[in-house]
Amino acid sequence: MGVQSIVERRANSIDKLNTLIETRTETLALLNQLINMRPFDASEEIQTLLEEFCESLVDYTASAHFQLYRFIEEGRERRSDVSDLAKEIYPRIAAMTRDILDFNEKYDSDVPLDDLSMLDRDLSRLGEVLADRISEEDKIINLLIQARS
pLDDT for the residue numbered 69: 73
Among residues 20, 30, 28, 13, the alpha carbon closest in space to that of 62 is found at 20
Gap between the Cα atoms of 69 and 64, Å rounded: 7
pLDDT for the residue numbered 111: 65
User: How do residues 35-66 score in pLDDT, each as one tens digit?
Assistant: 999 999 989 999 999 999 999 999 999 988 87
**CATH architecture of the region 3-148:** Up-down Bundle (1.20)
What share of the chain has pLDDT > 90, as a percent? 51
DSSP string, 13-30: HHHHHHHHHHHHHHHHHH
pLDDT at 84 over 90: no
pLDDT bracket for residue 4 (50, 70, 90): low
Please state the pTM of the whole predicted model: 0.85
CB 72 within 8 A of CB 137: no
